[in-house]
Every structure is written in structure tokens, then in C-alpha cells.
């Protein structure tokens, strides 16, 4: 199954990159199969520093901003315990990983990573239709240019309904930010 979250990686100078990503996982969470585009900073970082941290989050505003490159600054972090990397202080759970293999024979690389440490900060907020709609909108926003614009805008119109019905301020702000990005792009 694909579990959506955020991956933090570092380049050789220690600069942190924060990127939404949905690795393929199983219930044990012992391995992650990451599939970043080779043009991404995440891919470049993992080629140089083969470790990172995958985070389970419920902060859709952070996820939305990271998806479209609009993080105003790096979110609060603390050092990972077993790998070269950082943990997002606002995450629910985290999984520190080491890269075992990288297959870069396709545009979307396939990276197999082994989880070497995990931790928990707090409970996941819970299911909310607006949070899920923002997650889907963030994924669509990263596909602008790959999917016809009319399809993306039609999907945004459909996703706007649960946001309008069930969103809190964070979800409403995140959706508006993504909507503006897609309409400008």
C-alpha cells in the first residue's frame, strides 16, 4: 500500500529538504519503497547521503506548502537518532531509513530502504474529509504539466466540496494555497 507522508533528506552540506512522498509500505513498516523523480532534490540527496526520515503527519498545510515549494522556512526539527537526518518535530510518527538499493533506470527511480529506527511524538489527529481532499489536491498540484490542466481543475472543483463542508482553518488555507498555485501554473 502507499502511505502518504513527508520525507526529509540532506545534501552533502547538511541542507535539509522537506518533500511529500508516498512510499510503498506493508503493515510492518520494515522497508520503504520510495519512487522519487530523478529531477527531484530528494533523489539527488539520497544518491549522495543514502539515508533519511519518513514522517506520518496530519499537518496538511505543511504538506501542501512542501508540495508546491512554498515552505516559508524549514519547519522545526530535531536530529534523527540512527541516521544522518532530521525528524519533523510536528509529525505524528517517524521512520529513520537507510537506502539499500537505487534503480535509476527510469524517470522515476525506485529506492528500497530499510527502516532502522522509528519513534512517535503524538497521536494522529484522525480522519477528516477535508484533510484527505487537501492531500489529493497536493498530489494533483505536483502533477501540473503531467496531467491536462482541464482534468486537474475539474478534480479541484470536486475536491472543493468536502473542504467547504468539513475544513478547519488549516485545511481551508492549504486548499486555497494549492488552488491558487494550480490556477496560476
The per-residue pLDDT for range 107-150, each reduced to its tens digit, is 999 999 999 999 999 999 988 999 999 999 999 999 998 899 89
Q: Work out whether strand 16-21 and strand 31-34 pair parallel, antiparallel, or are unpaired.
A: unpaired
The per-residue pLDDT for 72 is: 84
Q: Looking at residue 128, what DSSP letter applies?
A: -
In 25-172 the beta strands, taken as DSSP E runs, fall at 31-34, 51-56, 77-79, 86-88, 93-103, 110-120
Of 171, 13, 34, 182, which is closest to residue 111 (Cα–Cα)? 34
H or E element in which residue 16 lies? strand 16-21
Domains by residue range for the chain, with CATH: 5-120 (2.30.110.10), 129-184 (1.20.58.290)
The per-residue pLDDT for 156 is: 97
Amino acid at each position: 500500500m502507499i502511505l502518504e507522508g513527508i520525507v526529509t533528506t540532506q545534501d552533502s552540506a547538511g541542507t535539509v529538504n522537506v518533500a511529500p512522498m508516498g512510499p510503498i509500505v506493508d503493515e510492518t513498516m520494515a522497508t520503504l519503497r520510495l519512487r522519487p523523480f530523478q529531477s527531484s532534490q530528494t533523489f539527488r540527496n539520497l544518491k549522495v547521503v543514502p539515508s533519511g526520515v519518513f514522517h506520518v503527519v496530519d499537518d496538511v498545510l505543511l504538506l501542501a506548502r512542501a508540495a508546491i515549494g512554498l515552505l516559508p522556512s524549514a519547519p522545526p526539527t530535531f536530529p534523527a537518532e540512527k541516521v544522518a537526518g532530521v525528524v519533523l518535530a510536528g509529525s505524528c510518527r517517524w521512520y529513520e531509513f537507510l537506502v539499500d538499493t537505487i534503480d535509476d533506470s527510469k524517470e522515476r527511480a525506485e529506492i528500497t530502504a530499510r527502516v532502522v529506527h522509528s519513534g512517535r511524538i503524538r497521536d494522529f489527529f484522525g480522519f477528516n474529509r477535508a484533510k484527505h481532499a487537501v492531500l489529493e489536491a497536493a498530489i494533483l498540484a505536483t502533477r501540473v504539466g503531467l496531467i491536462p490542466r482541464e482534468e486537474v481543475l475539474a478534480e479541484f472543483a470536486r475536491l472543493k466540496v468536502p473542504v467547504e463542508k468539513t475544513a478547519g482553518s488549516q485545511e481551508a488555507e492549504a486548499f486555497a494555497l494549492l488552488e491558487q498555485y494550480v490556477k496560476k501554473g
